[in-house]
Structure 1
Amino acid sequence: MHATTHSATREKSLSKKAAPLVLSRTRSLCPQCLRSVEAGRIRDGDDVYLVKECPEHGEFRTIIWRGNPAMETWARPKTPSTPSEPFTVRERGCPFDCGLCPEHAQHTCSALVEVTSRCNLGCPVCFASAEGQSNDPDHATIGVWLDGVMRASGDCVIQLSGGEPTVRDDLPEIVVLARNRGFSFIQLNTNGLRLAQDDAFFAALAEAGVNALYLQFDGVSDAVYEAIRGRPLLDIKKRVVERAARYGVGVVLVSTVVPGVNDGDLGALLRYGAQAGPIVRGVHFQPVSYFGRYPHPPADADRITLPEIMRSLEAQTNGLVSAGDFTPPGCEHALCSFHATYLRQDDGRLRLRGDSGECCLPKNKAIPTAEQGAIAAKTFTTRQWSAPSCGCGSGENAGAPLGEMDAFLEHVRRNSFTVSAMAFQDAWTIDLERVQGCCIHCVAPDGRLVPFCAYNLTTAAGRSLHRDAGARP
């Protein structure tokens, strides 16, 4: 009787296995033709898939979230804030009218200015489809782009990108161009190859006003670089960090996370960054996304999701950080990223900062506006990712002892360390609700501001939606 009851109970339990559940609806694009289609975020067990169907090319089902924290709990509501000066009008709808159009729901936090499409590496995971040769935009053109960003968004983070921007000998002059137009925070997106070899060039960039390096740094073993970048690079990366400390330029280590290649290296990279001294301001993880020509959709096994990275960081650091430390972003859409801010301790531990650095968001329970989120993100990035003060400097107060409160604040700033991740979208995972909440915008050749994921999007056959629309001068 007991065995029969147990068997019946098990069968009843199996029969009650939850059917796939529609968590929410959005819109997406067909990976084959980029037709705008309805899509659902569908929970199946512990995982969530983006499911969409094109009337011509059929259904596409792609993993976007694995395990805890559950996607349903990962939310941060914001009141939309449309652009103060849209550069385009709405005709076909998102993402075809990007520029930004009047319906975009977030201000610009970071503007990416691509100063070249040349590169001294040939990475297969490149967003920018970097090439060996190009006609680099001249200073006048870059100046027009910067003027447009300032007009549309005011003083935001300027990230000089490419290609590899350091292939331009005149890059320090471009930094000065941005400074002279009123941009207070200049970040350099770089693989670091030239910076590790050309000391005078690094010094010139620091003198021109570069605040921080967004340094490609995929792991702490050469095997990782050989797999992702095609050559051993670890010593070069470490040399860049050492030189950045010499010149007072902050560093954020940026890792593209590829399943089966470096997803087991996340904890080691976090430990390296935390121990590399105050010049390394944080580590930032980017789950690999797929651009270019793909005859077959990337398998779900080829993808790693944000909750997996959170849990891996806890497991691989033996609890130095916890998955529960991480929170949704205050600026971009909640499903795009996570972050936490810590204080380095003398014994090597990391202590979670209670405010996560979000001092500019409302302290009451009111839902912040998207604009408040963007302002908070810009303020925090400028403060956190710049190098801490060395205590030197010039002027009548140089070397003067700090007051108690000033000393405490400087200690906090010096020892703050961020851990974050951002899941960029490709043709299989693109979610137009997320695109409309994007605060990272690329400057197109005609001066439009285009959300990052829309700008870099390609069809499965490699055709670009926005990047190839118009040639650079």
Structure 2
Amino acid sequence: MPNRPYTYYDFTVSICSTCLRKVEAKIIFENNCVYMVKTCMKHGREKVLISTDIDYYKLCREFIKPSEMPHRWNTQVQYGCPYDCGLCPDHEQHSCLTLLEITEKCNLQCPICFAESSPNKGGFRSLEQIRLMLESIIANEKEPDIIQISGGEPTIHPQFFEILDMVKKSPVRHIMLNTNGLKIATDRDFVKRLAKYKPGFEIYLQFDSFEKEALEELRGVDLQDIRQKAIDHLNEFNISTTLVVVLKKGLNDHEVGKIIQYGLKQSCVRGVTFQPVQEAGRLERFNPEADRLTLSEVRQMIIDQSGVFGEKDMVPVPCHPDALAMGYAFKKDGVVTPLTGMIDKNILLEGSRNTIVFEQDEDIRKQIFKLFSLNHSPQSSALSLKDLLCCLPKVNLPGTISYANVFRVIIMQFQDAHNFDVRSVKKSCVHIAHPDGRIIPFDTYNLFYRNDKEQQLLKIREEIEVI
């Protein structure tokens, strides 16, 4: 009997990248890669590269922990995922991180911007609107792990510090400020004032490249000097910072290792987050087939280029393993020691475990165990290793060890209409607060719920009702 040229692995539900209607999809293995194959009765067949590493893809299916639910639901199940976001009771993960967008305006007009922000777009949300959004996050989470103040460019909001005060007084554990760094680079007094919000405060700094051509293509302007001045100010006031890198295939992906090494040398930098470009918002120069990077490709670049993280050090994040990968290291006195590969994966998957299985040098094992013991009492202010090895920056550490000794690398791959997988999006843990109070996964927000895009969603819902 003739054989197909691929191995059928799984079945899921996706959407047509043209009309956004739900379609059936197969997951297949072919030529050592993972593909999604789907067919829309109106727009035809699509074949989308999902992963370049079959073994890692399979690991993601196993590396998953029980779902953690929000304290309330915001919408009902009526039309099916992804058309009921809000969150609906069919969603499988609470908000590990929730974006609080306070403006659509920006002081840049980046050729790549998921929010399509610009100096001429939108306005500033009022304190009343922002309070409603914040209260909705708190009602869902009680004590939110991370709220990321975002935009547009949030630092240009005329009531920025009033908003920051409002969030700081809330029960949120950690605040991130998502920024392009222009204000931080040009206003030292502004940065000095930001430092007063420590601890539990972090800068999420756009940092895509060291090269003029790449910055101009991604951001529309050469920001090399701005980024360095921003880092200088953040180092001066020792404000915890994550460098955020939007990666586009063939443009800046050769800089992965260089950016990690740069971050390791900055006293303020706690890690780097890599975000492969998705087809959302404003994309002036983007070809989904030629410019897209998969999570597995970025993971391999980190392994090949960083000089720090090996194969065992970059593992899936258990709450959403399809979309998130992480690697943690401990840095002190110029020495960087990767940690993730030393840990039995069950430590990450089973909250009840209190032992560690290490796989490396005995002296390092003793050192790391001493620094990050799992046996502290509940009254202790020390951070457990189990808490450390997550995508969330929990900051209390024992003795002379501090958050400054932690360096993490995260890959955060968002879904768009091409690689959309309902099975995976149900586990999304990065969400956005809608102005009306709904809490919506980042992936579906940009596809269906941002601004006027909800009009198209209404048409899809009407068709479902007719059926």
Which category of TM-score, normalised to the shorter sequence, fits these structures?
0.7 to 0.9
Unaligned 5+ runs, structure 2: 355-385, 459-467
- In 2, the alpha carbon distance for the partners of 1:87 and 1:377 equals 30
Q: For 1:11-66, what per-residue CA distance to the aligned partner results, in whole angstroms no more than 9, with x for missing partners?
A: xxxx9997212222111111111111111222112111121111111111111111
- In 1, the alpha carbon distance for the partners of 2:298 and 2:319 equals 20
- In 2, the alpha carbon distance for the partners of 1:25 and 1:212 equals 40
Partner of 2:169: 180
Q: What amino acid does structure 2 have at the position aligned with 1:72?
A: K
1:83 to 36, 61, 70: 70
Deviation at 1:85, TM superposition (A): 0.8
Partner of 2:142: 154
1:30 to 9, 13, 16: 16
Partner of 1:144: 132
Deviation at 1:124, TM superposition (A): 2.0
- In 1, the alpha carbon distance for the partners of 2:99 and 2:344 equals 25
2:193 to 198, 201, 204: 204
| Structure number, greater radius of gyration | 1
1:335 to 319, 322, 335: 322
Matched, 1:40 2:26: yes
Q: SS state of the match for residue 265, structure 1?
A: helix
Identity of aligned residues (%): 31
Q: For 1:152-195, what per-residue CA distance to the aligned partner results, in whole angstroms no more than 9, with x for missing partners?
A: 11221110001111111321110111122222311100110111
Partner of 1:397: none
Q: What amino acid does structure 2 have at the position aligned with 1:48?
A: V
Deviation at 1:344, TM superposition (A): 1.8
Q: CA RMSD in A?
A: 3.1
Q: SS state of the match for residue 335, structure 1?
A: coil
Instruction: State the TM-score, normalizing by the size of structure 2.
Output: 0.82
Q: What amino acid does structure 1 have at the position aligned with 2:176?
A: Q
Q: What amino acid does structure 1 have at the position aligned with 2:189?
A: A
Judge conservation of contact 1:455–1:467 (CA < 8 Å) in 2: no
- In 2, the alpha carbon distance for the partners of 1:202 and 1:294 equals 31
Deviation at 1:112, TM superposition (A): 0.5
State the number of aligned residues.
420
Q: How does 1:64-463 map to 2 (within 5 A)?
A: 64-67=50-53, 69-75=55-61, 76-132=63-119, 133-156=121-144, 157-208=146-197, 211-277=201-267, 279-292=268-281, 298-317=287-306, 319-332=307-320, 334-353=321-340, 354-355=342-343, 361-362=350-351, 364=353, 381-384=392-395, 406-407=398-399, 410-411=400-401, 413-457=403-447
Give the direction of change, closer, same or farther, for the CA distance of 1:196–1:383 in structure 2 (3 Å limit): same
Unaligned 5+ runs, structure 1: 1-14, 366-374, 389-405
Judge conservation of contact 1:186–1:212 (CA < 8 Å) in 2: yes
Deviation at 1:378, TM superposition (A): 11
- In 1, the alpha carbon distance for the partners of 2:430 and 2:263 equals 24
Partner of 2:359: none
2:48 to 62, 67, 70: 62
Partner of 2:6: 20
- In 2, the alpha carbon distance for the partners of 1:217 and 1:181 equals 29
Q: SS state of the match for residue 425, structure 1?
A: coil
Judge conservation of contact 2:327–2:408 (CA < 8 Å) in 1: yes
Instruction: State the TM-score, normalizing by the size of structure 1.
Output: 0.81
- In 2, the alpha carbon distance for the partners of 1:159 and 1:331 equals 19
Deviation at 1:299, TM superposition (A): 4.3
Deviation at 1:468, TM superposition (A): 9.7
Q: SS state of the match for residue 316, structure 2?
A: coil
- In 2, the alpha carbon distance for the partners of 1:466 and 1:188 equals 30
- In 1, the alpha carbon distance for the partners of 2:106 and 2:457 equals 18
Judge conservation of contact 1:80–1:106 (CA < 8 Å) in 2: yes
Q: What amino acid does structure 2 have at the position aligned with 1:448?
A: R
- In 2, the alpha carbon distance for the partners of 1:148 and 1:287 equals 29
